[in-house]
């Protein structure tokens, strides 16, 4: 079984602060996705990374895939209350995705 | 929004009764998935399908069966529901199993087994 560990599990910060969420595994993945989920809704895809060392930016969000394709990070600059939610990473292999347990982010105004 | 519809969205059932959840897509995607989401366990794959009548088990398949007779429909059946199957169930779809495949999720089905 391929496992993905996310840290921290919970994060509460003030508006304007920066933060980084980590997703680590001992397994190699062919791709890694980050999702954001709000209460009562399904996860929504933020980004997919497929190349070791790849960095993608989505406005204030920066995603990085580790060189060995075993880990990833999500950095948010100047967090806003609208960033509040559950952030999930998922590693993909052979048509299936394994999810981490998620990081619950709360951004206080 | 990806064209995914789950039904029912909410259901309360008694232990030992059969339950079927339906996932319907309008995207003509080849891959369909059923996940369950529980506190402390994240999203766990129950079963998935890579084509009509082609299905395979995920990591938590015990107690569940699936069927896919048409590209657009993927059914998840609990033959005899147990309290441990109380959960939120998400259907997801994807065009193929290649690296970088984008998976889109439905809005979820809340199942309570009493």
Q: What is the CATH number of the domain that holds B48?
A: 2.60.40.10
Number of CB pairs, chain A paired with chain B, less than 8 A apart: 66
Domain ranges of chain A: 5-32+39-108
From chain B, pick out residues whose CB is under 8 angstroms from the CB of A101: 40-42
Contacts of A65 (CB under 8 A, 6+ apart): A32, A49, A50, A51, A52, A53, A54, A55, A71, A72
pLDDT over 60 (residue B1)? no
A65-97 pLDDT tens trace: 999 999 999 999 999 999 999 999 998 877 778
**Contact between A42 and B108 using a beta-carbon 8 Å cutoff:** yes
From chain A, pick out residues whose CB is under 8 angstroms from the CB of B92: 42
Q: Which domain holds residue B28?
A: 4-98+105-113
Contacts of B55 (CB under 8 A, 6+ apart): B47, B48, B49, B66, B67, B68
Sign (positive or negative) of CA dihedral B3, B38, B102, B98: negative
CB A97 within 8 A of CB A45: no
What's the domain count of chain B? 1
pLDDT for the residue numbered B3 = 92
From chain A, pick out residues whose CB is under 8 angstroms from the CB of B94: 95
What is the least distance, in Å, from the CA of A77 to any CA of chain B? Answer: 25
pLDDT for the residue numbered A107 = 97
Domain covering A5-32+39-108 assigned CATH 3.40.50.720 in the classification: no
**Which residues does residue B52 pair with via DSSP β-bridges, in sequence order?**
none
pLDDT for the residue numbered B95 = 82
Closest-CA residue of chain B to A96: B97
pLDDT over 60 (residue A52)? yes
**Which stretches within A11-101 are classed as H helix?**
none
Give mean pLDDT, residues A35-63.
93
CB B9 within 8 A of CB B110: yes
A13-17, B96-100, B110-114 — which is least confidently predicted? Answer: B96-100
- Report the alpha-carbon distance of residue A93 to residue A88 in Å, rounded: 17
**Contact between B100 and A50 using a beta-carbon 8 Å cutoff:** yes
Give mean pLDDT, residues A51-62.
95
């Amino acid at each position: 079984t391929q496992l993905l560990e996310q840290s921290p599990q919970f994060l509460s910060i003030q508006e304007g602060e920066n933060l980084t969420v980590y997703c680590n595994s001992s397994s190699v993945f062919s791709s890694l996705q980050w999702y954001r989920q709000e209460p009562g809704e399904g996860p929504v895809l933020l980004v997919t990374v497929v190349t070791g060392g790849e960095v993608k930016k989505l406005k204030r969000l920066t995603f990085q895939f580790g060189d060995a394709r075993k880990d990833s990070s999500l950095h948010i600059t100047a967090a806003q209350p609208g960033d509040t939610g559950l952030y999930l990473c998922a590693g993909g292999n052979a048509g299936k995705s394994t999810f981490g347990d998620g990081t619950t982010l709360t951004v206080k105004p | 929004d990806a064209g995914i519809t789950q039904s029912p969205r909410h259901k309360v059932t008694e232990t030992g009764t059969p339950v079927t959840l339906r996932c319907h897509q309008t995207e003509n995607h080849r891959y369909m998935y059923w996940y369950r989401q529980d506190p402390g366990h994240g999203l766990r794959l129950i079963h998935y399908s890579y084509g009509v009548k082609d299905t395979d088990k995920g990591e938590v398949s015990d107690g569940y069966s699936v069927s896919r007779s048409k590209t657009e429909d993927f059914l998840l059946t609990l033959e005899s529901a147990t309290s441990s199957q109380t959960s939120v169930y998400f259907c997801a779809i994807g065009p193929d199993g290649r690296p970088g495949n984008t998976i889109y999720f439905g809005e979820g089905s809340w199942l309570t087994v009493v």
